[in-house]
Structure formats: C-alpha cells, structure tokens
Amino acid sequence: MVRLTHIASLVVVLFAFGCKSSLVGVAKVNDLDYKTRKAFEKSFFEANKQKVLNNSEKARELYHRSLTLNPESHATMYQLAKLNYQLDRYTEALVFAEKAVRTSPSYNHWYYGLLAQYYNKFGKYQKSAEVFIQMIENEPDVKENYTESANQYYNAKQLFKSIEVLNRMQSHFGIEKVSSTRLDFVYSALGDKDKAVLEMEKLVAAYPDDIQFKGYLSETYVKAGKKEKAVALLERIIDEDSSVGKAHYALYSLKRDVDKDKEAVNHLKEAFKYDDLSLLQKMQAVTVFLNDFKKDSSLKADLFDFSEILASNYPNFIEPYIFKSDIYGTMGQYDSARCYTRKALSIDPSEFQLWSKLLGANALLNDVDQQIEDTEEALTLFPNVIALYVSLSYAHIEKKDYTKGIKIADEGLDVAVDKRDKVQLLLCKASAFDKQEMYQAADKNFDKVLKMNPFNAMVLNNYAYSLANRKIKLEKADSMITTALRLEPSNPFYLDTKAWILYGKKKFEQALKVLNKCMQLDPKGKDYYTHAIACYVALENTNMANEMQQKLDKLKNE
C-alpha cells in the first residue's frame, strides 16, 4: 500500500513559526508568586536564546529548569518536544508533545499540529488521524486538516474512515479537486472501481469546462478497464481543444494497445507539437520507437518526423539532436550521427556524454585526425577524465606518432588515481613500445600492469599476442591467453591470439579450428583471415589460402 504523506508542509510551518506565535505564550505564569515567576521567565527566555545559538543541550537543560519552576507551562513542554526531536530523543519528544496538548487550557493549532506530526513520524497513524479530527472540530474551514486526517487513516489501513473524512470534507466545501482525486485513489485501493469512476464523474459534472478534470476522469476510466469510455472522452477533449497534447498522448497509448498503430503514431505526432507534454515524456516515447526501429525499418519515416518536430520545437535543447544522432547511428550512418552530436555540443559543451558519443563516432569512422582534434578539445574541459588521455594516446599510436602517444599516457598517469585508470594508460605505453619493437620497455609495462591486476583479460591478451608475434616465450603466452579465455571464453580477439600462438607452435590445423570460430563470432574481423592465410600457406593449401585472400579483399573494399 502506498503511504500518503502531506504533512511535510505543516512541519515547515510548525518549526518556522512555533515560538513566534502569540498562541504559544508563556502559559499560567500568573498563578506563580512574583519571585518564582521572575525566575521562570529568566530561565525560559535564556533557554530560547541558547536554542537560537544552537546550544541545544544547554537550552534543553534550561527548559527543564523552567518546567520545574512552572510545571503547568505548556509552552515549555512544546519547546522541549521540538528540541528533543532535534536531538533524536524521540520518546521524550512525543511525551512532551502529548503533555503540551493536555496541559493547554484551550485549543492550540501549533500544539495539535506538532503532536499529529510526531504520531505520523513514529508510525502511529490512527492517533495522528484522530488528532487531525480534533483539529477539524476546532478549525472546520481548514482544508488541510481533512486531507491530513484522511491520509493518516489511509496509512493506518482504515480506508473506510479515510473515505468518511473525505466525504465530510465534500459536505463542507462541496465537490472540488482535492477531495475528489483522493476519493478516486482510496476507492481504487479498495478495488471499488465503479465508485472511483463515480467520484471523478461528479468532479467533471461540477466543473464541465475544466479540461484537466476530464483528463483525470479518462485516467480513472483506463484504471477501471473502461478504455472505450476513455477514448471517447479524450476525443471529446480534442474536439473542444486540439492543442491538449496530453490528450493526444493518452490516445496514442490507448490506440497502440489495440494495434491501431497508424492512428497512435498520428496522435503522438500531434502531442509532440504542444508544451503541456514535457520534453522528457516525448523523449521516452520516441526512445521506444527507436528500439522498435532496430527490428522494423518501416518506422524510419516516423522517426525522422518525430526528430524534425522536436528540433523545431526545442532548437536550444540538446535532446532532439541526440535523438537524431541516435537514429543515424542505428542506421550505421556514423558521419551524420557525428554531425548531430556536434550540434548538441554547440548547445552544451559541458555534457561529457556528448563528447563520448562524438569520440565513439570518430572511432567507428576510423577518423584518427578528427579523433585527435576532438579529444584535445575535450581535455581542455575535462582534464581529469582518464578515458580522454587513453583515447588520445591510442590515436597518436595509430598515427605512428609513438613518442606523442607515450607522452600523453604519461600525462594521464600524472592525473590518474584509480588503479584501473593506471592500467589503461600503462597498456597504451606498452602498445606504443611494442609497435616500435622496443620489446624490453613494452614487457616492462605489461609486467607492471599484471602486477597491479594479474587477471586483467585485455592485458593478458595483448601481452600474449605481442609474444606470439615475436614467436618467443610461447608457453608463457599460452598460459596468459588461457587465463584470459577463462574470463571471456567467447571473445574473438582473445581466440585469435590463441590461434596465433598455436601458429607459432606450428600447430596449424588446431589454429585454423580456432580461427573458424573467430570468423563465426565476428565475420568482419580482418586479422582472422590474415592469420588463416598464414596457416594455409604453411600447410601448402593454396586453394584455401586464395579463398581466404578473396574474403579479406572483399572486407577491405566494403
């Protein structure tokens, strides 16, 4: 059951104004003799002063002294209730809150409100509700007393009493939004859908020109399983005012549920034109379409329509351009995806997610020069993001500017704190040294990484592949790749390394079996075909070597 709590606003009032209200005076001092009254007043006001100075324990001590001098001071009890609560002395807080209510000779809104709040905080929901009932008796024109009492009865699982209070509220104030929507909620919780519908129909009848209330009624119809009534009402709303985006959005959901996809899409497009539907709701809706598009390419035109509406209505927001980028990315048109990511970045360059998307697009396009330029710009904004140093280092390594790649990795290591970040940067350095055939320096960095994390699969693979390429320490390489494959048994890159080690051991047939598995897992991996050609050449199988070469050439031309 959902717990209802609307007491928070009252709490603010209680704590903000409790000690300033004329209702919370220094009570019953007139019954004291002059000397005792002066001592009490001095102690009480000094306690107030210490409370303001945040000397809570001192204030508490002085309030207790005040109460010793004047045991009937309900104002002191009230202050002690609040102070004990702040000091996490909850039992004492509740005791003094109850005493303040009992001791006060007349009704005091602040005392009752504080007690009701504490009962709610301590899970005594029925008692809290009953205090609010007493507040209704004393302040029948305060709506919050009714709603708070109804909420507390709901929390106490006394739903019929909650309904009783809300009906009493309607008798006093008439049909209005707060009581009607709460009655809808409570009747729905009871499973009495017809009465929930009736309450909302009464609200609409009382305010026939309020479109919002008709929207509430349509939601209640849907919850009650009366979808046809909901559709008819929503269509009536649109007839009265076609610019109600939420009505179009609700119709989109209802029509989609009954497979009226074309009508549903049209309503969603209409909903996108109006501001009463938030951008977040719109983005959530189109994300569903984007996911469906991955299975059904016929949605392409609709996706572009949505993206155009969003870009037109929200030209200064990044979300429409991210959406356009995602559409093109899903279609494999990475250049266009990158273009719209740049548009989003021109609006908000501080959003790192956008830089990450941009760098990802550069990588997919194999645009190394642009990757370097964009990563350098991103680093001026995010100098502590290690992934950027890694990206930039690898980009320079790919350009065969190994010195620069190592320099960038070292700059990252100066910033890196996390061990995983250091591993990535050391791996960059190892790769740069390896490509320059500076194997001693490469192995030193590989060993450094494995000392930090002996079960990093990527490092184990890269180190093993380096040794396999050099055709040295093949047993060590085999041991490392075996560990990596235990961690990721279906990784085609790691399987390729295993095959290349087998090739180095002259176990060509076994290597080809592994390479065939790589090709099944990743048909576009060029290295697998290159290594297969080497194996077939070693086996003097010219036909298969030629076949592999043809496949490799085809991949290179795609």
Q: What is the CA radius of gyration of the chain?
A: 36
Q: For residues 76 and 64, give the distance between their C-alpha atoms in angstroms, rounded to a whole number.
A: 8
For the structural domain made of 473-558, what CATH number should be given?
A: 1.25.40.10
Locate 348 and state its tokens.
Answer: 């908000």
What was the pLDDT predicted at 300? 84
In terms of C-beta density within 10 A (0-12 exposed, 13-18 middle, 19 or more buried), how is residue 191 classed? exposed
Q: Could you read off the pLDDT of 182-220 as tens digits, one per residue?
A: 999 999 999 999 999 999 999 999 999 998 999 999 999
Neighbour count for residue 60 (Cβ, 10 Å): 21
Residues 6+ apart with CB under 8 A from 7: 116, 117, 120, 128, 148, 151
Neighbour count for residue 205 (Cβ, 10 Å): 11
Q: Could you read off the pLDDT of 153-169 as tens digits, one per residue?
A: 999 999 999 999 999 99
What was the pLDDT predicted at 261? 79
* Sign of the CA dihedral with 29 first, then 31, 33, and 34 last: positive
Q: Could you read off the pLDDT of 295-345 as tens digits, one per residue?
A: 767 778 888 888 898 999 899 999 999 999 999 998 899 999 999 999 999
Matching residue, tokens 């909302």: 200
Q: What percent of the chain has pLDDT over 90?
A: 79
Q: For residues 319 and 344, give the distance between their C-alpha atoms in angstroms, rounded to a whole number.
A: 8
What was the pLDDT predicted at 526? 92
Residue-by-residue pLDDT tens, the chain, 558 positions: 555 555 534 333 333 333 333 334 444 555 788 899 999 999 999 999 999 999 999 999 999 999 999 999 999 999 999 999 999 999 999 999 999 999 999 999 999 999 999 999 999 999 999 999 999 999 999 999 999 999 999 999 999 999 999 999 999 999 999 999 999 999 999 999 999 999 999 999 999 999 899 999 999 999 999 999 999 999 999 998 888 999 998 998 898 888 787 888 889 888 888 888 889 988 888 888 787 777 767 778 888 888 898 999 899 999 999 999 999 998 899 999 999 999 999 999 999 999 999 999 999 999 999 999 999 999 999 999 999 999 999 999 999 999 999 999 999 999 999 999 999 999 999 999 999 999 999 999 999 999 999 999 999 999 999 999 999 999 999 999 999 999 999 999 999 999 999 999 999 999 999 999 999 999 999 999 999 999 999 999 999 999 999 999 998 887
* Sign of the CA dihedral with 379 first, then 381, 386, and 387 last: negative
First to last CA, the chain: 59
Q: Could you read off the pLDDT of 450-503 as tens digits, one per residue?
A: 999 999 999 999 999 999 999 999 999 999 999 999 999 999 999 999 999 999
What was the pLDDT predicted at 12? 34
Residues 6+ apart with CB under 8 A from 5: 120, 151, 155
Q: For residues 290 and 419, give the distance between their C-alpha atoms in angstroms, rounded to a whole number.
A: 37
* Per-domain boundaries in the chain: 473-558
